[in-house]
Amino acid sequence: MNKAPIYPYPVTYARENGELEQYRASFKTLAECKCAIDDAIFDNWDGMNFAKDSAKRVLKQFGPERVTFILAYTLREMNIDNRFSGHNASWASTVPLYGIASGRGSCTLESHPAKVDLFIDLVRKDLQELAQQKSALRQKSSAKPKKEAVKMDKTPIYKESFEYAYNHGEEEQHRASNHANIACKKAIETAIASHYHDNCLDTQAAVQEVVKQFGYERMFYVLANTVQTQGTDGRVSQANKKWAQTIPIVFERGKRDTSYLITQTHPGLLDMFVSSARHEHLLRQPLKAADIKAEAAYILERFQAAQEPNSPNGTHYMV
């Protein structure tokens, strides 16, 4: 299909603006389109009507704009005695002809007006179907795609320096682990940014998004590496700073690897993310006998401390 638009100005404008080539090329293609429509009318007329697909070939070859231009121009030129149906005459008045003067035989169909009128009906029906198809495609493409299942990166965390890896022939494991750390760092920054709306961070959703991709161990490793650098930052809680110190981080020649430091996230939001991550992880851990015993002792202590029934209606004790 020739997708070049119809030249919309008269020849005087084209000449004054050095666009005669575009003008001539446009009208040459219009003339070719006119001949193709006449041929389609002649070839597909069975004496009474047209086959359903009679207009599809010319529409595909020249595009809707040129075909409708030729049809509308012809109708306006030949409708001096109302030989076309009223609905097609109204339709033709809506097609832009760019102020092109009448009398252009190269743009006027030679077929009988009755056949042209029926062919216009066919073209308009095809264009309506095409518009519906495009609308359906737009709706389909704009529909929110289903999220594909995220495959967790199970690359082991390499807990030695590159020097150690080099000396032990484990450079690939070191590189793979480092690449995974960097990817996890980016995932944390993205998750926090995407789940922060209206001054509120959905920490649980952000944490789960990262956990599904990298698991708790690597996420904690990357978080601890960053939090350990924020010792004097008051926006990070002391509890999270103490927690970060419990996770040993590998140093390269005495220096921290900065390639997976979380730098694109506000420290306050990062602190909220860390707290939520720690809480979510704790909830997943099975209770130990010592935990159950401690909770039972706490409940008993609360019961014994109550001097009188403390339920809302004052009839019984509760903790």
Task: State mean pLDDT over 36-42.
Answer: 94
pLDDT score at 200? 85
Q: How confident is the model at residue 145 (pLDDT cuts 50, 70, 90)?
A: low
Task: State mean pLDDT over 187-193.
Answer: 95
DSSP 232-290: T-TTS-HHHHHHHHTS---EETTEE-GGG---SS-HHHHHHHHHHHHHHHHHTSPPPHH
What are the tens digits of pLDDT across the range 48-96? 889 889 999 999 999 888 999 999 999 988 887 677 898 998 898 888 8
What rounded mean pLDDT belongs to the chain?
87
Residue 306, pLDDT above cutoff 80: no
pLDDT score at 238? 93
Residue with the larger pLDDT of the pair 139 and 168: 168
What are the tens digits of pLDDT across the range 112-132? 999 999 999 999 999 888 888
Residue 273, pLDDT above cutoff 80: yes
Q: How confident is the model at residue 307 (pLDDT cuts 50, 70, 90)?
A: confident
Q: How confident is the model at residue 144 (pLDDT cuts 50, 70, 90)?
A: low
Structure tokens at 77: 């030129």
Residue 111, pLDDT above cutoff 80: yes
Q: Which residues contact 22 (CB under 8 A, 6 or more apart)?
A: 7, 14
Residue 291, pLDDT above cutoff 90: no
Residue 181, pLDDT above cutoff 80: yes
Task: State mean pLDDT over 292-303.
Answer: 80
Q: Phi-psi bin for 254: left (phi > 0), alpha (psi -120 to 50), beta?
A: left
pLDDT score at 134? 81
> Is the pTM here over 0.85, yes or no?
no
pLDDT score at 243? 96
User: Which residue reads 């706490």 in tokens?
Assistant: 298
pLDDT score at 38? 94
Positive/negative CA dihedral, 202, 204, 208, 211: positive
Give the least confident one: 220-229, 263-272, 290-299. 290-299
